[in-house]
Structure 1
Amino acid sequence: MAVPRVVELEITGACQLQCTHCFADSGPNGRHGLLTAGDWQRVISDAAGLGVREVQFIGGEPTTHPAWAELVDHALSLGLRAEVYSNLFHVKPEWWGLLAREGVKLATSYYSDRVKEHDAITTRPGSYERTRANIAEAVRRDIPLRVGIVHVLPGQRVTEARRELEALGVTKIRTDRIRRLGRASLPGAAETDTAELCGRCGRGQVAVLPTGEVTPCVMA
């Protein structure tokens, strides 16, 4: 059995936003799940022991978990690379030092160059300004960053959003269609419609959910 290159750690179902298309159905009422910080540390240690090269912290919003920084530090101490997939809605000043460490990279989502359109998708007023400002700060600090733009609304300003990101200095940008999973599922559809997945589940990656379950992908 091949060792996965990346292990995705969905450490929480909590998020300050409640995006209309969230595959994990995360939001302000989400919980951190069954695993303790010690459990997550053991998962990370086991991953390193197997030869995994990178762990991704995802949610929900991973920085809402009280031990997220400790877990990132633990991964780095074992020689793993760590990606923090954050909405970048709220970044405490003291977090930037950790995010700028060697071996850490950031990922985030962006939706439009227009305030109203972006915030309509996240359902949180102010998310456009705060995410944009923290993207700019990450670029200023030379923190490796990739940004995903999901096409959610008809006529959404995806092209303009990409141009805005490029103007901010972001070089790794990817676009995707909405996946009809989680909150974006169609009425009466199965919980996981395999037609909505990318088809690369389990190829070089595995995911651990807040329940402790192991799956080929956080979306699966």
Structure 2
Amino acid sequence: MTALLKPPANTAPGGVTFLELEITNRCQLTCSSHCYAEAGPTKGHGTMTADDWKQVIDEAARIGVTKVQFIGGEPTLHPQFTELVEHALKRGLGVQVYSNLYKVRLEHWELFERRGVSLATSYYADTDKGHDAVTGRKGSHAATRANIIEALRRGIHVQVGIVDVLEGQRVDQARAELEALGVSDINMDRVRGVGNAAKLLPSTSELCGNCANGRAAIMPDGTVTPCVLGRFLPTGSVKGGSLKTVFESDRWGQVKQLIPPRVRSGCTPDEDSCMPSPGAAPTGACTPADSNDCDPSRTPACNPKYNS
């Protein structure tokens, strides 16, 4: 991860230091099998305005958050994306952009090269067929691969999450390819039963066990949740309210208690024992090798994988 500025002396309410900002549901890809956000080409940017997001960023910096992640959907499609990233940097926050890296504008490359900014993306296979079958977009594998290479050439830190979605997808080969390209920060995960992957109702058993543990997320409508995968557990809203109020509320504490903790107990990232264990006393966070959010991009607080 890119080195962050020295965190503020104050501690954020609820211990939250990492904040995921889901600024849009729009995305060029159509990952119908597993997209936790149910994003797509026809979706909108939500009811949060650029000024709303700036107020959230201002308060986040004020109360002790040290890093924000811009995610979606595809965050670079938001009309004020660059403005919002620059606003976060001016407030002394570390920034991670979780992009599908399907299309990257020249001005965005310049933004990604800024001090305090890093990239995260999702990668599904080492072949066009395997990757494109997951994303639903022909040419997405070649584009994302080329842009990963370009990011590395520019010296930009890239975190890559691999989600095992389809049978015969070649996830192990995808990891080997990324390592050969020079990617050192790789996470692997199974599909989580949230969003498009939800069979019936989403369950807390599908979470990585670290949601609300040092992290929180804000949806495109201002709803605050314990993480982007825990979107079915609303704890309040920043529309007409504040982060501090949400994090100090009884509802935040109740939701946090609902999420089964992950236990270490000698587990390895790919073992079943690494999954949330209801009733077990946590002895430390076991970060699975998946992609953040409880991994599409490993973050300071939690490590699972989702797709953008």
Range into which the TM-score falls when normalised by the shorter chain: over 0.9
2:16 maps to which residue? 4
CA distance in 2, matches of 1:145, 1:204: 22
One-letter amino acid of the structure 1 residue matched with residue 220 of structure 2: P
Report if aligned partners of 1:13, 1:24 keep a CA contact under 8 Å in 2: yes
SS of residue matched to 2:121: strand
Structure with bigger strand share is 1
Gaps of 5+ in 2: 1-12, 231-308
Deviations 1:90-113 (A, max 9, x none): 101121111000000000000000
Choose between structure 1 and 2 for higher RCO, CA contacts under 8 A separated by at least 6 residues: 1
Report if aligned partners of 2:15, 2:213 keep a CA contact under 8 Å in 1: no
Query: Which of 17, 23, 28 is residue 16 of structure 1 equivalent to?
Result: 28
SS of residue matched to 1:150: strand
Following superposition of structure 1 onto structure 2, how do residues 1-220 of structure 1 map, counting pairs within 5 Å? 1-19=13-31, 20-186=33-199, 189-190=200-201, 192-220=202-230
Report if aligned partners of 1:6, 1:53 keep a CA contact under 8 Å in 2: yes
CA distance in 1, matches of 2:174, 2:89: 33
C-alpha displacement at 1:196, in angstroms? 1.1
TM-score under structure 1 normalisation? 0.97
Number of matched residues?
A: 217
C-alpha displacement at 1:6, in angstroms? 0.5
CA distance in 2, matches of 1:208, 1:4: 13
CA distance in 1, matches of 2:25, 2:65: 24
CA distance in 2, matches of 1:49, 1:3: 13
C-alpha displacement at 1:180, in angstroms? 1.5
Percent identity of equivalent pairs: 56
CA distance in 2, matches of 1:100, 1:71: 16
SS of residue matched to 1:2: helix
SS of residue matched to 1:174: strand
Report if aligned partners of 2:99, 2:120 keep a CA contact under 8 Å in 1: yes
TM-score under structure 2 normalisation? 0.69
CA distance in 1, matches of 2:129, 2:49: 38
SS of residue matched to 1:17: coil
CA distance in 2, matches of 1:153, 1:174: 17
Report if aligned partners of 2:68, 2:93 keep a CA contact under 8 Å in 1: yes
Report if aligned partners of 1:3, 1:50 keep a CA contact under 8 Å in 2: no
Report if aligned partners of 2:23, 2:71 keep a CA contact under 8 Å in 1: yes
Report if aligned partners of 1:14, 1:30 keep a CA contact under 8 Å in 2: yes
Quick check: which has more Rg, 1 or 2? 2
